[in-house]
Amino acid sequence: MEPTAKRAGLTREKVLRAALALTDRDGIEKLSMRRLGTELGVEAMTLYHYVPNKSALLDGLVELVVSAVRTGEDAARADWTGRLRDLADSLRTELLRHPGVIPLVATRPVGTAAALRAVEATGAALVAAGFTPVVALRIVNAVATLVIGHCLAEAATTPGHPEPPAAALDLADFPALAAATAAGLGTPADHDARFTLALDALLTGLATTRP
Amino acid sequence: MEPTAKRAGLTREKVLRAALALTDRDGIEKLSMRRLGTELGVEAMTLYHYVPNKSALLDGLVELVVSAVRTGEDAARADWTGRLRDLADSLRTELLRHPGVIPLVATRPVGTAAALRAVEATGAALVAAGFTPVVALRIVNAVATLVIGHCLAEAATTPGHPEPPAAALDLADFPALAAATAAGLGTPADHDARFTLALDALLTGLATTRP
DNA sequence: TTGACATTCTTACGGCGTAAGAGACAGAGT
DNA sequence: ACTCTGTCTCTTACGCCGTAAGAATGTCAA
């Protein structure tokens, strides 16, 4: 019987999952080594046996989220724009599932094997469609960049009050802006429309560049 | 004569400019109230007379950088894609001038009048070209989002070593990636090419959606 | 001069990441 | 059974951070 085990039975994996859960629940700014420790029933310094420092912990969060991205390799019949769309959609849903992690994904270079595998798979589909390897990866980069930028904006405006200082401005000075907000710009449904508009435009534009 | 003035003669403006200079020189993580204070020859708490808290200071940095963006209103003869291109290029150069501020711009909603004026101006040009106000602002949003996402990636890989862990991976597993890196992917000149590719594609794609 | 107000400093609190090392536990070899 | 070895955990401490509270100092108008 081990009702009060002296060893907590931790793992890098468990630590990362707990950190992700804590981030999802309380936000990234509340993620501290001490807090994560108490969450796991352990002192803060204990965590340093599973992670060299906090930066590595954050890298682990990125790894966790990005690894969940599906690139649609199975549906190999999809054309290259379909593959890019799959990548974009999957990346977006994973990011929005963990809003606190988005700034980390945007900031930290992705060197993990899982992420590179996704890039490689999509890039290979583009090469098969006739693109140069260099151009193929530039295209994948462009799509990922667009998704990350969009999700940043989408998640940044979600928390409490959207933008109270904007209300203090004289809307009469900005006719186009005023007309658009009156027509529903900024509503939650609008985020989907913004994303679709941008992605569709990018993909049709890319299609015209195919050799 | 005031060789050693007891009043430092500060201003919100001066504080912000000093903060921006400090960020440009030492990086955003080194920007602390105490450090900024000593930089200005003043105690940390003094700064709180010009800025309510650190978050507002960071907002001020964003404001400072974004205000410098030129939207090409003068060259009113440029067509709407030209206006968008001007916006994108100007935003990109301003952001790259202050890499430490990019994560802030990406994260914090822009409510300042100067930023809205830029959006309004470009949006108006789109409306004049036949787009709905809502669509016009979605388009401006798409371009800004793409630029920010790209600059984030570009500035994140600049500091010290690009990605040492990537070298540890077996490149044989990623043929397309390997071929592309061998062909110069990731070099500084490649950033321009990536940006141009993405922006061109987005703009041509948008052109096909014009009513 | 006298107030009123704006500006600056002092002190202090609680939180952070983490360096250094001591202690407790588990399993292997004898 | 005992010790050794290496893994896991805790304790203590240092220097940093943002900022609350309020006392001191400067400036200028009445």
Please tell me whether residues A115 and A143 are part of one structural domain.
yes
Q: How far is B1 from chain A (nearest CA, A)?
A: 42
Question: CA–C1' span, B57 to C4, in Å?
Answer: 29
Are residues B184 and B152 both part of a single domain?
A: yes
Highest mean pLDDT among A167-181, B74-88, B109-123, B139-153: B139-153
CB-based contact, B26 to chain A, within 8 Å:
no
Q: Is the pLDDT of residue B40 over 80?
A: yes
Per-residue confidence (pLDDT) for residue B111, from 0 to 100: 75
Q: Say how many Å lie between the first and final Cα of chain B, rounded.
A: 68
Mean pLDDT of B8-19: 94
Would residue A191 count as lying in a domain? yes
CB atoms under 10 Å from CB of A101, counted, come to 23
Residue B77: its pLDDT value, please? 67
A49 touches strand C (CB under 7 A): no
Provide the percentage of residues in chain B whose pLDDT is more than 70.
88
Q: Which residue has the tokens 């080594």?
A: A33
Q: Chain A residue closest to B139 (CA)?
A: A198
* Residue (of B89, B203, B112) closest to A174 by Cα position: B112
In this complex, do B205 and A209 lie within 8 Å of one another by their Cβ atoms?
no
How many structural domains are present in chain B? Answer: 2
pLDDT of amino acid B179:
83
Nearest-nucleotide field for A34 (CA, C1'): C16
Token pair, residue A26, equals 């309380």
CA distances from A173 to A177, A186, B87 (A): 9, 19, 20
Residue B135 confidence (pLDDT) above 50: yes
Report yes or no on B58 lying in a domain: no
Interface touch A109/B156, C-beta < 8 Å:
yes
What's the pLDDT tens digit per position in B184-194? 777 778 899 99
- Asked if residue A77 and residue A34 are part of one domain, the reply reads no
**Per-residue pLDDT tens digits for B53-75:** 999 999 999 999 999 999 877 66
Q: Do B45 and B79 sit in the same domain of this protein?
A: no
Question: Which residues of A fall within a CB distance of 8 Å from B152?
Answer: 106-107, 145, 148-149
Same domain, B26 and B123: no
Q: Give Cα separations from B62 to B66, B111, B158 (angstroms).
A: 6, 10, 20
A32 shares a domain with A76: no
Tell me whether residue B7 is in a domain.
no
Partners of residue A117 in chain B, C-beta under 8 Å = 173-174
Quick check: B171 pLDDT over 70?
no
Its domain, for residue B45, covers 12-51
Looking at the structure, do residues B118 and B90 belong to the same domain, yes or no?
yes
Q: Look up residue B187 and give its DSSP letter.
A: S
In chain B, which residues have their Cβ closer than 8 Å to the Cβ of A174?
A: 116-117, 119-120
Chain A residues inside the 8 Å CB shell of B28: none
- CA dist B141 and A198 (Å) reads 9
Residue A33 has pLDDT above 70, yes or no: yes
Same domain membership, residue A184 and residue A84:
yes
Checking if the pLDDT of A83 tops 90, the result is: yes
A88-143 confidence digits (pLDDT tens)? 999 999 999 999 999 999 998 777 888 888 899 999 999 999 999 999 999 999 99
Clarify whether residues A117 and A16 are in a common domain.
no
CB contact under 8 A, A194 and B138: yes
Q: Are residue B20 and residue B86 in the same domain, yes or no? A: no
Point out the least confidently predicted range of A50-54, A138-142, B6-10, B51-55. B6-10
pLDDT of residue B166: 46
Residue A198 domain-assigned (yes or no): yes
- CA nearest neighbour of A70 among A87, A84, A95: A87
- Does A194 lie at the interface with B, CB-CB under 8 angstroms? yes
A window 44-103, beta carbon within 8 A of B: 103
The predicted-structure confidence for A143-194, as pLDDT tens digits, reads as follows 999 999 999 999 876 444 344 444 556 667 788 888 888 787 777 788 999 9
Q: Are residues B77 and B177 in the same domain?
A: yes
Across all residues in chain B, what is the average pLDDT? 88
pLDDT for the residue B76: 63
B18/chain A closest Cα distance in angstroms: 24
The CATH number linked to A173 is 1.10.357.10
> Which of B70 and B162 is assigned the larger pLDDT?
B70
**Would you state the pLDDT for residue B160?**
42
In this structure, the answer to whether residues A127 and A160 fall within a common structural domain is yes
With beta carbons less than 8 A apart as the criterion, state whether B183 and A133 touch. yes
Is residue B162 over pLDDT 60?
no
